[in-house]
Amino acid sequence: MDFRIPLGDWIETGIDWVEATFQILLDFASDFSDAVYTGIEWLLLTPPFWLIVLLLVGIGWLVKNWKFAIGTGVGLILIYGVDQWDATMETLALVLLASSLAIVISIPLGILAAKSEVASVIFRPILDFLQTMPVFVYLLPAVAFFSVGVVPGIFATIVFSMAPGVRFTELAIRGVDREVVEAGHAFGSSPWRILRQIQIPLGTPTIMAGINQVIMLSLSMVVIAGLVGAGGLGGEVVQALGRVDTALGMEAGIAVVILAIYLDRLTATLGKTSTPASTA
């Protein structure tokens, strides 16, 4: 077959153009991300491990209950016992940074999509594309823009995880009872005030469900980002694959599971407690 559409070549040319045109912006984003990640990593690794354990256990107790706190403590001590503490804290730093940036980007986009049909129509195929693209493909432009290391892992994680934040936020805003919104208009409230005092508080449980998904996807992508030198538990898994080291792979995998359960239960509980009554 002689006929071939050079779609991949066009995309590669576009990536090269973005890299050449926005090099200053990309360098700033790289330096900023690296600096913030280094700061979070320092905060998690500098104190003795038992202090971080107590902090995370205390957060679990305050947010959920004492049973969850005890389970958290047991899981974190197990991570320390199998010598995966530093890698876990590096992964947690990546997740905290990447998911925070993804949330900061996705929630305003979700609000825009809920307020504008044009924006919703434009965002929908883009989000479909982001959610169905194989995750390894995200690493290619990330490496092209930022070389290897932590920063391309953060970039790929943000792009991969932000879609549910946009979708759930749009669903939350659109799902607010129309009569409640109309009552706000009847009392002379501005659109911004209705959004801030009615739609966001009533839609908070759904928005929190989206944030939960963003965090979970961030954690899954951070592990894959170990392929480009992002380190953490992903680096441990990649190292285990290269050496066919089942013990190391299982230890790193169990550490990922423990971290995922902790973050999932924490954010899920926050979503359940974020009711309209509690935000009033």
pLDDT, one tens digit for every residue, the chain (280 residues) = 567 888 888 888 888 888 888 888 888 988 998 899 999 999 999 999 999 999 999 999 998 888 899 999 999 999 999 999 999 999 999 999 999 999 999 999 999 999 889 999 999 999 988 888 887 787 888 888 888 788 888 888 898 889 999 999 999 998 888 888 888 878 777 888 888 888 888 888 899 889 999 998 888 887 778 878 777 888 888 888 888 888 888 998 899 999 999 998 888 888 776 555 444 4
Nearest to 268 by CA among 200, 189, 213: 213
Predicted TM-score (pTM) of the model is 0.86
Residues in the chain: 280
Q: Measured between alpha carbons, how far is 163 from 97 in angstroms, rounded to an integer?
A: 17
Q: Measured between alpha carbons, how far is 63 from 196 in angstroms, rounded to an integer?
A: 24
The number of angstroms, rounded, from the C-alpha of 89 to the middle of its chain's C-alpha atoms is 16
Sorted by sequence, the CB contacts under 8 Å of residue 163 that are 6+ apart come out as: 106, 127, 130, 131
Nearest to 80 by CA among 261, 254, 234, 273: 254
| Predicted pLDDT of residue 171 | 92
CATH, domain 25-47+84-279, list 3.20.10.10, 3.40.50.620, 2.60.40.1250, 1.10.3720.10 = 1.10.3720.10
| Predicted pLDDT of residue 240 | 86
Is the distance from CB of 201 to CB of 180 less than 8 angstroms? no
Q: Where are the beta strands (DSSP E) in the chain?
A: none
Sorted by sequence, the CB contacts under 8 Å of residue 128 that are 6+ apart come out as: none
Is the distance from CB of 272 to CB of 207 less than 8 angstroms? no
The number of angstroms, rounded, from the C-alpha of 30 to the middle of its chain's C-alpha atoms is 17
3-state secondary structure of 132: helix
| Predicted pLDDT of residue 187 | 78
